[in-house]
Chains A and B, each alone.
Chain A
Amino acid sequence: MRHVISVSVDNEPGVLSRVTGLFSGRGFNIESLCVATTMDPDVSHITLVSVGNEQIIEQIIKQLRKLINVVKVVDLTPTDHVEREMALVKVKAEDRQRAEVLRIADIFRCRVVDVSPNTYTLEVTGTTEKLNAVLGLLKSLGIQEVVRTGSLAIQRTKKE
């Protein structure tokens, strides 16, 4: 099963390599990984997506907690949370296709961030499923290049 794991770590050199080294050393899977500093400059935040059965996910979480520089680990999957991913897509857009690309972009609320005589570059934000859907449609028109961020996730505030 796919799990989204939220990890707070000390913002120090070498910490990320310890985290990824744990995954490679023990043969765990990383689907995606997002890292950036937080409001507190001493803390970085990692959103990590991994696939495995319950036993493997439990091991991943326990092994992460064992690292000195790991401050907090939360498995967001069983909790109510919001997930977003971004992609930049450079699509071939010539002649009659130019309108079609823009139509798809409009339907999925993408933004056009770069234009050239024969391409559009689109910014797409949403869940992994939405991104896959957009990319699926654009593929038939001719995608030149795609870059994706991997998932970010945050817990929803509990409502009283």
Chain B
Amino acid sequence: MNEGMPMTTAIWLFDPAAYRILKAHRPVIYAGGGVILSKASEELTKFAESLQIPVTTTLMGLGGFPAPHKLWLGMLGMHGTYFANMSVHHADVLIAIGSRFDDRVTGKIEEFAPHAKIIHIDIDPTSISKNVVVDIPIVGDCQDALSQLNTLAAEVIPRELASAHQDWLEQIAQWKQDHPLTYDHTSGDLKPQFVVEKLYELTKGNAIISTEVGQNQMWAAQFYHINRPNRWLSSGGLGCMGYGFPAAIGAQVACPDEIVIDIAGDGSIQMNIQELATAVQYELPVKVAILNNGFLGMVRQWQQLFYDRRYSQTPMFSPDFVKLAEAYGALGLRAEKPEEVEPVIREALNTRKPVLMDFRVAPEECVMPMVPAGAPMHKMLLI
């Protein structure tokens, strides 16, 4: 070790971490993409279950914890669930695992998890205390660290302690009941969230999902509940539109027998639409679901909410995607009403070639809930 190295990053602090977790009344696990990269999903699930600690993940951590689980809070952050953000805000111990305290997660950083002692497990020492000062750092591989914590938990922690924070779980259940993740079903318009829900339902949650960047990405993250690792491909902090379609093609090459769906927007699909030729040429049955609202939707959403609907450079002209698909030799399908969605998806899933699905969704639908930029996490705009 070099001289003068700050000691905090070099020590493995298992015992203090275990002690903190044991003493916690309101613990929350906040997991990131590191859990996927280190194949720690099983250890994470075991850890959360044995101590009854609720789990939220970042966008990149989706699939690291099984989505339909009673301890699952959904994604946190700017477009995370109300109950995930409230849980983190009120937590007394926050266990960050393979995550980096990105600004989309923390909101106003001075007010992030204000009541919590923070334990941070990460393999990269530079990640520790980079954005948020960490109380107990554990530098190491997530899988390794979690399995050691699990061993420690099994030895040290008596059974009854697992139910010590029953009040906390009830509080979270209450938040969940007050403000669940939902959208307005009553209008009769075709809603983008409905399309994603249908995709989830008809693929039984078993598709590999890739996304572009923007509203499509957030709706996919919110409503397609990823239940295991490496089924979710998104460009995360890099924020590159055009990522989803080539990623889906790659996934289809690697997993020829899986259903692979790129959930896209009308803006971002045109970033790499030429790859339809690749998909057709190599006979890859990739499905693209375009949530077509005629806008660069996420930017428009900010103009809509914070700039009094003064839309500048966000309305988008798009080609006829059905004809375009046909021109490439792929199948093009369109749905304009809610009742047309299911037949379109069914036909796409039954077709062994690339399919472009053009869903004409409600143009001014917003991704909700939302933490406005610069606001603390618990001050969310709800529907």
Residues in chain A within 8 A of chain B (CB atoms): 54-55, 57-59, 61-63, 65-66, 72-79
Contact = CB atoms under 8 A, between A and B. Distances in A.
B128 to A, nearest CB: 8
Nearest to B130: A59
Given A58-B8, A62-B125, A74 B2 contact: yes
B203 interface: no
B2 A73 contact: yes
Contact of A58 (B2, B9, B124): B9
Contacts of B130: 59
A74 B3 CA distance: 6
9 contacts: A54-B6, A61-B5, A62-B9, A62-B126, A62-B128, A66-B126, A72-B2, A75-B5, A76-B4
Contacts of B6: 54, 57-58, 61
Contacts of B4: 61, 74-79
Chain B at the A interface: mostly helix, strand, loop or mixed?
loop
Contacts of B124: 66
A132 B304 CA distance: 56
Contact of B129 (A59, A72, A75, A77): A59
A57 B8 CA distance: 13
Interface hub of A57, A58, A78 (most chain B Cβ within 10 A): A58
A74 to B, nearest CB: 5
A55 B129 contact: yes
Interface of B: 2-6, 8-9, 124-126, 128-130, 133
A136 B308 CA distance: 57
Chain A at the B interface: mostly helix, strand, loop or mixed?
helix
Interface hub of A62, A63, A74, A78 (most chain B Cβ within 10 A): A62
A75 B4 CA distance: 5
A138 to B, nearest CB: 35
Nearest to A54: B6
A72 B5 CA distance: 11
Which 3 pairs show the lowest CB-CB distances between chains A and B? A75-B4, A62-B126, A58-B6
B292 to A, nearest CB: 37
B305 to A, nearest CB: 29
A62 B5 CA distance: 9
A1 B4 CA distance: 15
B90 to A, nearest CB: 25
B355 to A, nearest CB: 42
A63 B2 contact: no
A55 B135 CA distance: 12
A65 B139 CA distance: 15
A55 B126 contact: no
A58 B3 contact: no
B13 to A, nearest CB: 16
A65 to B, nearest CB: 8
Contact of A55 (B5, B125, B133): B133
B126 A63 contact: yes
